[in-house]
Structures are given as structure tokens and as C-alpha cells.
């Protein structure tokens, strides 16, 4: 019984191994980037970037004629950069609010992508279903290679820029006063997110990449009081939901990406209710024990 | 500090101008702060006090203007300044501890990769001690009172050890004990020959805290010794119709 449930899927060909590899490679860097997007209150921007990548991908596809070429990544990073700059420009100009700026820029650029796709690439097999939702258990070797290169690269960059990412997320003005390149780091972070959503789109799709970016960070914030712990919890959440999600997908014969994100959502709910410091249920019991949930300490 | 170094200019600002969307916020402000001064930056809401401070420390880029610190300018000048932002400018739910934030003060010397240990760890210990936050150093910063949060920011500034300290509203929303502690630290820094600019709101404490005043409302209204600038005429220029409130309170000054 246990053997059938947990071991057997790994022995029926190599798709479980490949799927787990793809899910790990996709989810760990997404979780790390997500920690910083979440803390900068830019969760919505991840959504925007995964959509605005589309016109970049289509244009790059028109030039290269291939779907798994590094040119696609470049196209996505470029359109990510353009949309980040456009969002910044509109929000700074005070013509519109920043949330509206994000909505306008991403939907317009996504529409451009859809039109380009329908006009120029009608006969190409860009599968919109696959682009949005991915196919983690049927991932191609090219996509695995792309992920295998992009994902360690992103992880290394995040670790190398750790201090500047933390300080610019926490106190941007102080970082500027220290003379640190605050805007450059902002664009690098956005470029990383654009690159990651594209590298991951065959595995998890553009829509579900957003969940991979935000849900681990949101869960981890409930469980940790320090940056390092938050990053570790986010990665743990990403790995656990990938593994459990793949099992659920195999057992119930449902979409793997859907199952991964659903498990991630359930883990988030568990953190909301049972987090030792912030959980709804835990603080209820703390109150009942008369300890009080107030954390303010008189000096 | 003796009279000779008293006359030394610590911070020189020339024709500083800054605008948002062509709307001028700081207009053509010039002044020279002598070394060892504690300067209160006063003016009504929207007078551009915070913007002026941010432009001086390099957090905003001005349209026009020169800034000199003890004879240096540009990046060298920025390195000698320590900025204490408004407490409300950061997210206190951020997953960092008191010690983490104070240690950020060492980044000015350590750069992006240097480790906070040895001598630098000692600097952090001392800064925590000076703001009486040693016992709370491993606490997440959201679990602090307003006064404690302000002391964390002050601790970070002490760990940075600049020549010029620029503080944005350090007394807002803090308890009496913290206010006294901050004033003590300001005086200690002045006695070490450092220079301080402090954005301030509470006119009743101005004479007690500051030996110099910078009075502004978008443009400079007056800069000089407190007794020369903190006078009804100039204050009326700065605060306009709101002077009624001031005159009411003047009897107590």
C-alpha cells in the first residue's frame, strides 16, 4: 500500500524524477525572489512580469524560430525591463496610482503579445495552454537544461547580493544615502523575476509561476522573525509543496502544477492558523492561557 | 570645541533646489553650519524639511546645488554623513532583529560583503549599549514600542559614526524617557565635535535643544544662532497664519 503510493511512481519510467527535478529547479529560485518581492510589497509585479514576458517571447520567437532558445529568455528580460520602467514612470509621474499603473501596463503588453501571437505565429505550436499552466511531468530535455542553467544562476545572484537586497527592501533611503545602487538592484530583481518566469514556463506555466513566487514567501513570513529563516522556510515550502503536489497529481491524475500550487496554498493556510508567533489558533490559545498575545514590551 | 574650530564650516550647502514634477519643494537654499552645532530644522508641514535633508544625504537628487562636508564634496562628502530616516518610512514587520538593524550602520565601512565581526561587532555592541537596547537586541523590530524603534535607528546611526548627523523627526511618537535619551546622545555627539541637523516640530523645546536654527518654508527664511532666528517676526514669515498658536505658547518659552 505504502509502496504503491510513495515508491511506485518513481519506478514507472523517469517522468517522476524529471518532474521533481524541474519542480525543484523552478520553485527554489522563485521562492527566493519571492521573499524580496513580498517584502517590497511588489507581489502584484510578479503577476505583471509573467504576463508582459509574452510579447518579448513572441518577438524573440519570430527572430529565432525556436521555442527553447536563450533568445526567448533575453526577449522576456527585455520586455520585463521595459514594463518595469513603464510602471515606475507612470507611478512616479503621479498621473495614475501605482496599482493602476501595474494593471494598465501588464494588460496592455500582454494584449500586444496575444495579437502578435495570433497574427504572426498562427501555425507555430506555441501552446497557450502550456504557456499558462505548464506541463511539469512531461517537461522537455531542452527546458530542463534551460532551468538547470538559469536556476542556479539566479540562486547565486540572490546569495551574492543578499545584503544589498535586504537593505534596499528594508530601508531604501538609507541605502541610497550609503551610495548603494538602489535602482540598479530594483531592475536586476525585476529582470531576475522575468527570466525565472520564462525559464519556468514549460514546467509550471506563467500563471502558476506567480503562485510559486508569492505563496512560499507569504507562508515563510508567518513563521520567521529573521531574513535567513524566512528564506529557508520559503525554500522548504517550495520543496515540500513540489514533492507533495507531484504525488497528489499522480494519485488523483490531475494537473501537476495545479496540485503543487494547491498544496502550497494549504500549507499557507496551516501557517495562518498554527504559526507559533502569528497563528490565529495559537494566539487564541495563548490568550486563553492568560499569557496575552501582546508583544509590545515596556522599556 | 574651542572657538577656532567653532568657526570651521562642517556642512556647506549652496543654491540647493529640488522639485517634484516641476513643482518646487526646496528653492535655492544656501547655508553654512559651523562644526559642533546642533541645528533645529523648523518650518510648517510641507515646507520641504524632509526633502532638504534627503537631498543633502543623497537619498534624493537635487535639480541644482552643491554640498560640501568639511572641505570635501561628492561621494567623499556623502561618506561623512549619517542619515536617520523618519521612523514611519520603513516596514516594522520586516523580519530583522534590533541587532541586524544596528549592524547596518557598519555597512558604510564593510560594503556589500564584509562580515560584521571582531571590531565591527564591538561597534554594534557599543551602539546598542548607548541607546539602552542591549537587552532587546535579538527581538524582531515589530515587537518594540515607538520610542524603542527610534532608539534602534539612532543606534544604527551611532554604529555608522559619521561626522554630520542628519535626523528626520527623531522625536515624533516617542516617550519622555526616549526623548531625554536622544537629547543626551545628541549632546554627546556634539561634544565629540560632530555636527547635527535635526528636523523638529515641537516649538516648545526648541530653545532647550538647539543652538542653531534653520527656518524654512520652501525657501530659506533664516539660518543662525537660536536667539537670532527663533523670533516672532521670522516665525511669522515661516508659519504664516498659524502663528496664532505660536504666540499663545510663547509665554512659556
Encode pLDDT of A89-107 as tens digits.
887 777 777 778 888 888 8
CB of B109 within 8 Å of any CB in chain A?
no
Cross-chain Cβ contact B57/A177 below 8 Å = yes
Are the CB atoms for A86 and A105 separated by under 8 Å? Answer: yes
B76 touches chain A (CB under 8 A): no
The predicted pLDDT at position B125 comes to: 95
Q: Per the CB < 8 Å rule, is B148 touching A299?
A: yes
- What pLDDT is recorded for position A132? 64
pLDDT given at position B122: 94
Q: Taking CB atoms and an 8 Å limit, are B107 and A297 in contact across chains?
A: no
Q: What is the pLDDT of residue B1?
A: 41
CB B165 within 8 A of CB B194: yes
Q: Is the pLDDT higher at A221 or at A63?
A: A221
Rg (CA), chain B: 18
Q: Are A190 and A84 in contact (CB under 8 A)?
A: yes
Q: How far is B129 from chain A (nearest CA, A)?
A: 14
Of all residues in chain A, the one with the smallest CA distance to B133 is A299
End-to-end, the C-alpha distance of chain B in Å comes to 28
Give A269's pLDDT tier (boundaries 50, 70, 90). Answer: very high
Residue A257 binned pLDDT confidence (cut-offs 50, 70, 90): confident
For B106, the closest chain A residue by CA position comes to A178
Contact between B85 and A174 using a beta-carbon 8 Å cutoff: yes
Q: Do B91 and A170 touch (CB under 8 A)?
A: yes
Q: What is the mean pLDDT of residues A239-266?
A: 90
Of B21, B59, B136, the CB nearest to A177: B59
Query: Residues A72, A63: contact at Cβ < 8 Å?
Result: no
* Among A81, A34, A28, A23, CA closest to A53: A81
Entry pTM: 0.86
* Interface of chain A toward chain B, CB-CB under 8 angstroms: 39, 41, 93-94, 161, 163-164, 166-167, 169-171, 173-174, 176-180, 221, 224-227, 229-230, 295-299
pLDDT digit string (tens) for B89-130? Answer: 899 999 999 999 999 999 989 988 888 889 999 999 999 999
pLDDT exceeds cutoff 80 at A79: yes
Q: How many CA atoms lie within 13 A of B230 on its CB side?
A: 22
Per-residue pLDDT of chain B in tens (253 residues, 90 and over written 9): 444 454 688 999 999 999 887 788 999 999 999 999 999 999 998 899 999 999 999 888 888 888 989 888 888 888 899 999 999 889 999 999 999 999 999 998 998 888 888 999 999 999 999 999 999 999 999 989 999 999 999 999 999 999 999 999 999 989 998 999 999 999 999 999 999 999 998 889 999 999 999 999 999 999 999 999 998 888 888 888 655 555 444 444 4
- For the stretch A222-242, pLDDT in tens is 999 999 999 999 999 999 999
DSSP string of A165-200, one letter each residue = HHHHHH-HHHHHHTT--HHHHHHHHHHHHHHHHHHT
pLDDT of B3 reads: 44
Are A177 and B96 within 8 A, CB to CB?
no
- What are the contacts of A2-9 at 24+ separation with CB within 8 A? A5/A247, A5/A251, A6/A247, A9/A246, A9/A247, A9/A250
Nearest by CB: B89 against A39, A173, A179: A173
Please state the domain extents for chain A. Answer: 2-285
CB distance A167–B178 less than 8 Å?
Answer: no
Nearest Cβ partner for A167 among B21, B79, B107: B107
Class at the top of the CATH hierarchy for domain A2-285 = mainly alpha
Cα–Cα distance, B228 to B176 (Å, whole number): 28
What is the bridge-based pairing of β-strands B219-225 and B212-217?
antiparallel
| B9 in A contact zone (CB under 8 Å) | no
Amino acid at each position: 500500500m505504502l509502496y504503491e503510493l510513495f515508491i511506485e511512481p518513481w519506478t514507472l519510467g523517469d517522468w517522476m524524477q524529471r518532474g521533481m527535478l524541474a519542480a525543484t529547479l523552478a520553485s527554489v529560485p522563485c521562492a527566493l525572489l519571492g521573499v524580496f518581492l513580498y517584502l517590497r510589497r511588489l507581489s502584484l509585479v510578479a503577476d505583471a512580469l509573467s504576463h508582459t514576458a509574452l510579447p518579448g517571447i513572441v518577438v524573440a520567437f519570430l527572430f529565432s524560430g525556436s521555442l527553447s532558445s536563450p533568445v526567448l529568455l533575453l526577449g522576456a528580460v527585455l520586455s520585463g525591463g521595459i514594463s518595469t520602467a513603464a510602471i515606475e514612470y507612470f507611478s512616479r509621474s503621479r498621473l495614475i496610482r501605482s496599482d493602476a499603473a501595474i494593471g494598465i501596463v501588464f494588460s496592455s503588453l500582454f494584449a500586444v503579445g496575444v495579437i502578435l501571437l495570433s497574427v504572426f505565429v498562427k501555425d507555430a505550436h506555441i501552446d497557450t495552454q502550456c504557456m499558462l499552466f505548464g506541463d511539469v511531468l512531461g517537461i522537455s530535455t531542452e527546458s530542463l537544461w534551460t532551468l538547470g542553467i538559469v536556476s542556479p544562476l539566479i540562486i547565486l545572484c540572490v546569495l551574492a547580493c543578499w545584503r544589498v537586497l535586504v537593505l534596499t527592501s528594508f530601508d531604501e533611503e538609507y541605502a541610497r544615502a550609503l551610495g548603494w545602487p538602489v535602482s540598479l538592484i530594483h531592475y536586476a530583481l525585476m529582470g531576475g523575476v522575468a527570466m525565472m518566469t520564462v525559464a519556468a514556463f514549460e514546467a509550471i506555466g506563467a500563471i502558476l509561476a506567480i503562485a510559486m513566487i508569492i505563496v512560499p514567501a507569504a507562508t515563510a513570513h508567518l513563521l520567521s522573525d529573521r531574513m535567513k529563516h524566512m528564506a529557508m522556510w520559503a525554500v522548504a515550502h517550495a520543496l515540500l509543496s513540489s514533492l507533495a503536489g507531484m504525488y497528489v497529481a499522480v494519485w488523483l491524475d490531475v494537473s501537476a502544477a495545479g496540485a503543487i500550487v494547491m498544496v502550497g496554498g494549504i500549507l499557507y493556510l496551516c501557517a495562518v492558523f498554527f504559526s507559533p508567533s502569528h497563528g490565529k489558533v495559537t494566539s487564541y490559545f495563548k490568550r486563553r492561557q492568560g499569557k496575552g498575545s501582546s508583544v509590545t514590551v515596556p522599556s | 570645541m574651542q572657538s577656532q574650530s567653532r568657526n570651521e564650516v562642517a556642512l556647506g550647502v549652496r543654491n540647493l533646489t529640488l522639485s517634484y514634477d516641476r513643482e518646487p519643494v526646496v528653492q535655492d537654499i544656501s547655508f553654512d553650519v559651523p562644526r559642533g552645532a546642533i541645528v533645529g530644522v523648523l518650518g510648517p508641514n510641507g515646507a520641504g524639511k524632509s526633502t532638504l535633508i534627503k537631498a543633502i544625504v543623497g537619498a534624493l537628487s537635487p535639480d541644482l546645488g552643491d554640498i560640501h562636508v568639511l572641505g570635501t564634496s561628492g561621494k567623499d562628502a556623502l561618506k561623512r554623513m549619517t542619515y536617520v530616516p523618519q521612523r514611519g518610512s520603513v516596514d516594522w514587520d520586516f523580519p530583522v532583529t534590533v541587532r541586524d538593524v544596528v549592524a547596518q550602520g557598519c555597512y558604510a565601512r564593510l560594503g556589500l560583503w564584509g562580515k560584521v565581526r571582531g571590531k565591527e561587532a564591538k561597534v554594534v555592541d557599543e551602539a546598542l549599549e548607548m541607546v539602552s537596547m542591549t537587552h532587546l537586541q535579538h527581538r524582531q523590530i515589530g515587537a518594540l514600542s515607538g520610542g524603542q524603534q527610534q532608539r534602534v535607528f539612532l543606534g544604527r546611526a551611532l554604529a555608522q559614526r559619521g561626522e554630520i548627523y542628519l535626523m528626520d523627526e527623531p522625536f515624533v511618537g516617542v516617550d519622555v524617557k526616549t526623548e531625554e535619551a536622544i537629547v543626551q546622545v545628541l549632546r554627546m555627539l556634539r561634544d565629540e565635535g560632530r555636527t547635527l541637523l535635526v528636523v523638529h516640530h515641537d516649538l516648545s523645546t526648541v530653545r532647550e535643544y538647539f543652538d542653531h536654527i534653520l527656518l524654512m518654508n520652501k525657501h530659506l527664511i533664516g539660518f543662525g544662532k537660536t536667539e537670532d532666528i527663533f523670533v516672532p517676526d521670522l516665525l511669522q514669515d515661516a508659519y504664516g497664519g498659524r502663528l496664532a498658536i505660536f504666540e499663545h505658547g510663547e509665554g512659556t518659552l
